[in-house]
Structure 1
Amino acid sequence: MSQKYVCLTSEARNAWEILTKVETVYTCNKLHVTPLFSNNNNDEDDKEIIVDVCCSTEPVMPMIPLGLKETKEIDFREPFKDFILEHYSEDGSQYEDPIAEFMDTRQAMRTPLRDSSGVGLLFQYYNQLYFVERRFFPPDRSLGIYFEWYDSLTGVPSCQRTVAFEKACVLFNMGAVYTQIGTKQDRLASKGLDSAVDSFLRASGTFRYILENFTNAPSMDLGPEMLDMLVQLMLAQARECLFEKLELQSRDRKQDVDVCLDLAQEAAQVSEVYGKVHTLISCQPVKDYVPYSWVCLAQVKREHYTALSHYHTALGVMGARMGDMSAQTRDTLQFLHAEDENKTRLEIRVPQDDDERKLLGRAHLRESLLLHEESQRLHRMCRELRGKAALSGVLKKCHTRALDAYTAAEEEDDFREVLDPPRILPSTKFQLSLTPPDFSQYRVEDLFRALGPVAIFSAKHHWTAPRSIQLQRLGGEGFGFSVRGDAPVIVAGVDQGSLADFGGMKEGDFIVAIGDKDVKWFPHEDVVKLIKLAGDSLSLKLVTPMDKNYLKQPKGGPKGSVSTSSSSSSGVSSGQPSPAGSMAAHSHKKLTWNPFRKTSAHGKDSVLDHNVILR
């Protein structure tokens, strides 16, 4: 089934790509996604980014997605055809269709859809690069092909000749698409929250993969400091979604003290991870690179979730009498409150009576109010955040809720009311693990498979131009050579003074054609069968490798028992590097076969049947 690719106009793409933070405003049956930092405020662009989902009117805390890197179109036709003729000694015009298909795939992945099909397209192109890099990009020279990509935030172009830069940029766009998928989920539903968590973890794993496998990137968005921050930011957003899911599941158990204390610790955990994000994002050179609104939002969320941790602690403490608290709840309170030598804090960690319980609860409510006011102050200080209705709505709603609870809990003045509550230690029941890119999920076929197994016929290996050999034998005379291996079959030995020797065959030659059949991909048995069928007249096409190192037989194996089967010879890539070397020994080894040597009459049939050489 053919896949349909949608190409956006430059204006529409700009409204979506420059988007570096999204505010989600939920309205009845529609989710409006508006760009937070876009310089293009055209109403027509805003119309292009409305996504239909089923949601209520409740505001939701905004998340930060990433815009995609853009790139220019590249014409690979002439460089690839010239290289095929020069390096592989084949007619480049025969490969016009594979080259065109590769260029179409690259053109389509420049503007992928923001869903799983877009991710799949990026994976397919990335896996195809595995083969293309090995086929056409030798380590010692340049084809004159330059990969130019634009920074996702600044639009500054960067240009490199290496395929590694192309790979890193494609991976970055994978992560960016994941962030956009996660951001547009309906986070008022459990299913939407699960999808958002999965998408943010995949984005974080992708950025971590880039950080660990690609170095010296020329653009800032691929720098180690930026990638490290993005990993932590996506982890923080995944943990924030988990907290929202826990809140959603706990709506019917708001008065349960254990549920409230769990929410308090999870909120403190979210606050802590956003504190780490704020630390990373406030350091050079990231601080001067990312939008100031990112820095502000991380700070707002840190204060907001600390306030929520105090609020939920207060609800739990004030909602249950001391006589109703279980031993487990008391233990939770003991470990929930941090020990602190600060004299301005209450020394109550586990209340001993109802008076201390109420005092501790009011202290947490008061602290929650102060922190909510601080988060609102930070929100007002950022011009870009001030106009975000969803963020304002969330902060105002939580502040009002805490104020109502504090007003309802007010009693006579107590001199201890001026003391701060104990700090809440962060803790979580959710162990998050990054999801690295799964390249094997999107397997592709080598478009240039006809050139031969990529482990042998690659840009880094060199061999002579193909030469044709015609062998004509008489009577019972043998051709005088033996073969071994698979795809391609290798000349294992040549008898001195034989037809093969006079014809110019050499040990280590690759048999690339028999008659008019290309046999570069043929297994050992099929090549042997073709040699048998040739009769007394054998026409071969051979190439002699110039680098004999990768033809050496493994130590300890029987002579002539090497096979060329490897993961990279199958024509399908998982996106991972193939094992080192181009020849891998099978556990089941084939013996060398010499079908045309003179043998004793009584053993001739058995030798031919079992591929055993008798010299």
Structure 2
Amino acid sequence: MEHYSEDGNKYTSEIKELGELREAVRTPERSQAGVELLMEYLCQLNFVEKRFFNSKRHLSLYFHWYDCLTGVPDSQKSIGFEKGSILYNIGSIYTQIACKQDRTVKAGLMQAIVHFEKAAGAFKYLESRFSSAPSQDMKHETLTMLVGLMLAQAQECVLEGRLIGGSKEGVFNCAQIAQEAAMVSHKYSQTYKRMSAPESKNYLPFSWLSMVETKLHFYKGLAHYYIALALMEQKDSGDMAKLKLMFEAIHSGVAPRDENNGLKLPATAEERKNLGKAHLREAVVNHEESIRIHNLCKQLRKIDTFRDILQKTHERSLSKFSSLEEEDDFSEIISVLDILPQSEHSTVSVSPDLSKVKVRDIFWKLGPINVFNANNDWSAPRSVTLERDPSEGFGFSVRGDSPVVIADLEKGSVAERCGLRVRDYIVGIGEVDTKWAKHDEVVRLVRQANLSLTLVLVTPAPKPETPAHRPFSTISLPASPTKVQAQTPAAATERERKSHNRISAPWMFVRRNSNKDKNGTPDRPKSTPNGNIILVSNGNLKNSHMVNGADIEL
């Protein structure tokens, strides 16, 4: 607390509260309550960083993290590392909430989609703001892979939602399900490519790669299976107009592999049968490949439910294909194109909305954080007692809120003689702490002081003329952009003089019969019999009710 010239013993309860919160986030609930707890701590870390971590110097304080897959400990002297760890845990809990949903009902599937997308958003948020990670699980490649994996699982839930209660009949419905399955396969394929990168492949468990590769083939086969159903087993399979639209949808932009590519619109039942058979053959091949990859992994072989699904789906495709096989079938072999991925809901990452987390700055008693923070410097607090005669004022004006600032000093006044300075912050009046005090409250306390006024003041250190280069940060949360306009000191002074709003216009505690009053200078309001104040605006006098922040003579 040396930076704030405060006694650390006065903040024992605040330090204890922060320690208890940090201890609680080590074992959060695997629920929305656990996510909210982590977000609360993350927001507190932002306050703590601004309060105690100067961007130009580092504290000798280590933050620790254990790699989620290897358990290898890492540490950094950066609070950004702690924030990155919390974001990672937020994403992890979202995945656990998604996996706990009942995916046999529509509501459970919707919740699974929502939480998988939020998990992807947390990892993407971390990936875009985190650098120089010491552990492999927080490196850019791993986080990008995790984003893709979460979105692929969410897309899988979208397809399951279409299939709940059985698929509807019709060429278009079958084609849409096929494209949904192709989208799932496509997203798992992208994830598998990221996993197969040398650095990631050596780090990730073999079961992860096997599962993703199994699913990309499984859903690719499922896409071809539903196209075969559309061609052969629907009541409208012979509707050429619908078939044409289906072909345009599922093959738009797909490059043919050879001349026997099945792009020709099947006009007869025999042609539809041959093309459907070709899609079934592609389905069988992909399902067999998914079973083969699944069986190569010892851990996946233990998941009986998943193995049963693979087997049953393969047997269904193989049964339909076998029923079409004939010994004397010498028809031309057709190679089919991949199905164009398309979805009614293409999953996207949803970033964590930290603005909805309402937290109180634990160390709020140190004062408004925009002024009293680790990057600002000011003098040690000094106590000044002003004694005035009944015939004179204190001779200073104030402006602003939280904290109120000395705006001006009257030459030769009590305030000037006692050492008050323009831009001093009033952090106390008598025994009252005024760091958070509003303008009106400070004015009331000054008036109550009568002839003797004790102020506690701090003087802010001058700002450098040129902004310092922002130092490298491990992780930073987005700040609201501000438009900065260069200005001369003269222009700034002129604008301050003309300002008459609540925040910038000062209260003036001066002598009742000061020189300024006698000279009739139009920058001080005059009292009128009806209790109103005459405010000056562009040199014209106007009758107006007194407003907070306007100058007034005392």
Determine if the alignment matches structure 1 residue 525 to structure 2 residue 440.
Answer: yes
Determine if the alignment matches structure 1 residue 130 to structure 2 residue 46.
Answer: yes
Contact 1:115 1:177 in 2 (8 A): yes
Q: 1:589 Cα deviation (Å)?
A: 4.8
Aligned-partner Cα distance in 1 for 2:237–2:89? 57
Determine if the alignment matches structure 1 residue 261 to structure 2 residue 181.
Answer: no
Residue in structure 2 matching 1:546, options 428, 452, 461: 461
Aligned-partner Cα distance in 2 for 1:598–1:586? 21
Aligned-partner Cα distance in 1 for 2:272–2:483? 70
Contact 2:256 2:337 in 1 (8 A): no
Query: Residues 539-586 of structure 1: CA distance to partner in whole angstroms, max 9, x if unpaired?
Result: 100001113469x9xxxxxxxxxxxxxxxxxxxxxx75466699x999
Determine if the alignment matches structure 1 residue 300 to structure 2 residue 239.
Answer: no
Which residue of 2 is the match for residue 350 of structure 1?
Answer: 265
SS at match of 1:277: helix
Which residue of 1 is the match for residue 473 of structure 2?
Answer: none
Determine if the alignment matches structure 1 residue 147 to structure 2 residue 70.
Answer: no
Change (3 A) 1:380 1:477: same
Which residue of 2 is the match for residue 508 of structure 1?
Answer: 423
Change (3 A) 1:340 1:88: closer
2:154 partner letter = A
Deviates more, 1:343-352 or 1:294-303: 343-352
Aligned-partner Cα distance in 2 for 1:105–1:323? 63
Determine if the alignment matches structure 1 residue 612 to structure 2 residue 551.
Answer: yes
Q: Number of aligned pairs?
A: 505
Q: 1:292 Cα deviation (Å)?
A: 1.4
Determine if the alignment matches structure 1 residue 313 to structure 2 residue 313.
Answer: no
Contact 2:240 2:267 in 1 (8 A): no
Residue in structure 1 matching 2:412, options 497, 520, 523: 497
Gaps of 5+ in 1: 1-83, 553-574
Change (3 A) 1:413 1:428: farther
Aligned-partner Cα distance in 1 for 2:113–2:182? 18
Which residue of 1 is the match for residue 490 of structure 2?
Answer: none
Aligned-partner Cα distance in 2 for 1:337–1:139? 55
Residue in structure 1 matching 2:526, options 579, 597, 603: 603
Which residue of 1 is the match for residue 121 of structure 2?
Answer: 205
Which residue of 1 is the match for residue 9 of structure 2?
Answer: 93
Aligned-partner Cα distance in 1 for 2:14–2:330? 81
Residue in structure 1 matching 2:344, options 429, 447, 450: 429
SS at match of 1:513: strand
Aligned-partner Cα distance in 2 for 1:260–1:422? 17
Change (3 A) 1:340 1:509: closer
Q: 1:420 Cα deviation (Å)?
A: 2.7
SS at match of 1:464: coil
Determine if the alignment matches structure 1 residue 473 to structure 2 residue 388.
Answer: yes
Query: Residues 10-47 of structure 1: CA distance to partner in whole angstroms, max 9, x if unpaired?
Result: xxxxxxxxxxxxxxxxxxxxxxxxxxxxxxxxxxxxxx
How is 1:150-189 mapped onto 2 (pairs within 5 angstroms)?
150-189=66-105
Change (3 A) 1:179 1:341: closer
Aligned-partner Cα distance in 1 for 2:83–2:306? 36
Contact 1:482 1:594 in 2 (8 A): yes
Change (3 A) 1:323 1:97: closer
Aligned-partner Cα distance in 2 for 1:216–1:252? 48
Q: Which has the higher contact order (CA 8 A, sep 6+)?
A: 2
Which residue of 2 is the match for residue 395 of structure 1?
Answer: 310
SS at match of 1:285: helix
Change (3 A) 1:340 1:499: closer
How is 1:567-578 mapped onto 2 (pairs within 5 angstroms)?
577=479
Gaps of 5+ in 2: 468-476, 485-495, 519-524, 536-545
Which residue of 2 is the match for residue 461 of structure 1?
Answer: 376
2:346 partner letter = Q
Aligned-partner Cα distance in 2 for 1:257–1:412? 29
Deviates more, 1:534-543 or 1:411-420: 411-420
Provide TM-score, normalisation by structure 2: 0.86
Contact 2:379 2:459 in 1 (8 A): yes
Query: Residues 480-526 of structure 1: CA distance to partner in whole angstroms, max 9, x if unpaired?
Result: 11111110000111223221111111111000000110000011111
2:199 partner letter = P
Aligned-partner Cα distance in 2 for 1:234–1:604? 69
Residue in structure 2 matching 1:271, options 185, 203, 211: 185
Contact 1:337 1:349 in 2 (8 A): no
SS at match of 2:64: strand
2:280 partner letter = L
SS at match of 1:415: coil
Aligned-partner Cα distance in 1 for 2:244–2:308? 35
Contact 2:275 2:334 in 1 (8 A): no
Q: 1:409 Cα deviation (Å)?
A: 3.5
Change (3 A) 1:587 1:230: farther
Which residue of 2 is the match for residue 61 of structure 1?
Answer: none
Q: Percent identity?
A: 41
SS at match of 1:445: coil
SS at match of 2:178: helix
Q: 1:140 Cα deviation (Å)?
A: 3.2
1:192 partner letter = G
Which residue of 1 is the match for residue 23 of structure 2?
Answer: 107
Aligned-partner Cα distance in 1 for 2:107–2:454? 65
Deviates more, 1:89-98 or 1:141-150: 141-150
Provide TM-score, normalisation by structure 1: 0.77
SS at match of 2:441: helix
Change (3 A) 1:515 1:322: closer
Residue in structure 1 matching 2:278, options 352, 363, 366: 363
2:388 partner letter = R
Determine if the alignment matches structure 1 residue 486 to structure 2 residue 397.
Answer: no
